[in-house]
Each structure stands twice: as C-alpha cells, then as structure tokens.
Chains A and B, each alone.
Chain A
C-alpha cells in the first residue's frame, strides 16, 4: 500500500466517523434548521458583552488619564501663603505682564486662581468679599469663586483657571504638560 493509498484510507475513515450519529440522534431524527437562529437570550448576552466591552474601554481611558504623569513646564511665584489669609484675595499678572489674574484663598482652605478678564467683553473681574462672588462691573457678570463658572449676567463661559501649586511657603502659578 502506497503512502497515497494510506492517506486516502485515513481520510475515508475520518469521513465515516463524522457521518456516525449518536443514539439520541437516531431516536430523534430531527433536522433543526431553526437552530441557526440567534435566540433572544443569546442576543441579550451579546448586547451585554458589547456593553461590558464599551465600559471597559471607557474605564481604561479614564484610568490612563489619571495615571499619566505631568511635568511642570514653567512656574511663576505669586505670593507667600502667610500673606493671604482665608477669604483673602490677591491680584497679579499671569502669564504675561499684560494679563490680569486673581488669586483667592477660599474659606475651605483651598486656593483658586482665574484669569481676571471677563469672558463676556474682557473687562477686569474683581472679588466681592461681602457677596463671596467674582464680579464684572461692566455688565454685571457674576462668577462662582469655587469654580469660575458664570452664575449671573451675560457671560456664558467660565473664567479660565490657573493651576496653583504650593512649594514650601510660596504659591506658584504653574503650567503643566504631558
């Protein structure tokens, strides 16, 4: 018997085994064409798996967002911490000498700094301690000192935020990049 004959014989045996049916198939000789359909439960499982994959991808991106390190590109000294008590305000220029900015020591102990230009028509914004609001006198725009978000008047956009870092006893305005 040649190698080719042996291969043919093995192939025929394999085909024979495939044709062999089990006992239950012999007793219940149904041809279920309908098995090719996707059932409702299978569709639901598929949808939940897709939903899980979308969630995992979103969580991974958000996780990466928090994990990546940032490097300080530049920083500018503003004022020593001791000179700005809680509830106090300090006006300074950042990032250039022509750009007005405002630094607040919020009652909760946090520091917040914003561009001093109103997002409506670029008038100078100031902090009104009695109302605990950032005000624009030109058109009576009002901003929340905690977030810089406009709460009244014509401004629609929040005041640009300036990142503040404390190094020792000094406060710095910093620019960070990836």
Chain B
C-alpha cells in the first residue's frame, strides 16, 4: 500500500503514483493475467461471431444463424457472472 507521504509547504499531503501499489498481491498476478487473456480471447471470438453473422446475413443464408447469437450471449452472461463474483469477493474482503 501507500507507505510514503510527505507534507508540502501548503500542508497538503502528496502521494505520487510511483509510491502507490499498482500490482496485485504476490501469487495473484498470474491468475489475473490468465483471466485477462481468457477474457480477451472470448471477446475476440465474439467479434468473429459478429462477422460470421454479418456474412451470413449478406449472403442471404439464415440456416442456424441463431446459434451465433446464443454463443455470443453465453460469453456475455459469463462476463456478467464474473462481475458478480468479483463484487461478492470484494464485499467479503
């Protein structure tokens, strides 16, 4: 955490960004990085699904295109679930 504070002439306590802890606790960085990478990959998949849906729409084919929206929706629901879990985790701390 912040461990170094200094008072200036006007009495204001300054905290510079170099003294603020910005990294997660030891051992948690790998988990957070993994979650970030998985999240980025899933969003990439969603973007790909969007392009496939657009491609099918422009080609006039409607066969099973609803599956694309379902898969994209599942990824979105997974994100919402993660947000909920994160909130619950923070409240417990």
Contacts and interface: CB of A to CB of B under 8 A. Distances in A.
Contact-residue bracket for chain A: 20 to 34
A51 B42 contact: yes
Given A30-B15, A34-B20, A62 B39 contact: no
A47 B65 contact: no
Contacts, number: 96
A51 B43 contact: yes
Chain B interface helix/strand/loop/mixed: helix
A84 to B, nearest CB: 24
A37 B66 CA distance: 39
Interface of A: 29-34, 36-37, 40-41, 44-45, 47-48, 50-52, 54-55, 57-59, 61-66, 177-178
Interface of B: 11-17, 20, 22, 24, 32, 39, 42-43, 46-47, 49-50, 53-54, 56-57, 60, 62, 65-66, 68-69, 72-73, 75-76, 79-80, 82-83, 86-87, 90
